[in-house]
Amino acid sequence: MSKEILLLSGPNLDLLGTRSPEIYGTDTLDAHVARATAAANAAGYELRHLQTNFEGALIEAIHQARGVSVGIVLNAGALTHSSWALSDALAIFEGPKVEIHLSNPAAREPFRHRSTLAGVVSGSIAGFGALSYQLGVDAVVSILGR
């Protein structure tokens, strides 16, 4: 079996570091991915990352991860609050799935309080800023170790 964890970053996350730093911090997506990669490697896993601004590409990546990746860490950005198609794709993936957010959606605008993904993921990590990606990997590794 593979030792790969798939890390998915959704729309607008390629702009981290410059987009709303008062909400998301000043770290770039590359910095978040580097920390997540180090966490995965330290636990004996490889990390594959995909960032896309397109919902369909995220869905395709989840479909392709079946039988390849042992777990998924996903920051779907605003798609978290609107994409039932992404939820359906995640429901089909059999390994652990952890939803992450740099900010705390529950403390933000009302439309961000609902997650279409919450019912199909193993758990959610929100509001830990620069630690969120690493904590997501740590959670998948922990679930796999049970």
Active site residues: 24, 101
Secondary structure, 3-state, 29-40? HHHHHHHHHHHH
What is the dihedral angle through the alpha carbons of 121, 111, 58, 126, rounded to the nearest 10 degrees? -50
The DSSP letter of residue 121 is: S
CA 41, CA 35: separation in Å to the nearest integer?
10
Query: Which tokens go with 84?
Result: 């039932």
d(CA 5, CA 107): 29
Could you tell me if 39 and 73 are in contact, meaning their C-beta atoms sit under 8 angstroms apart? Answer: no
Residue 4 φ then ψ, to 5°: -100, 135
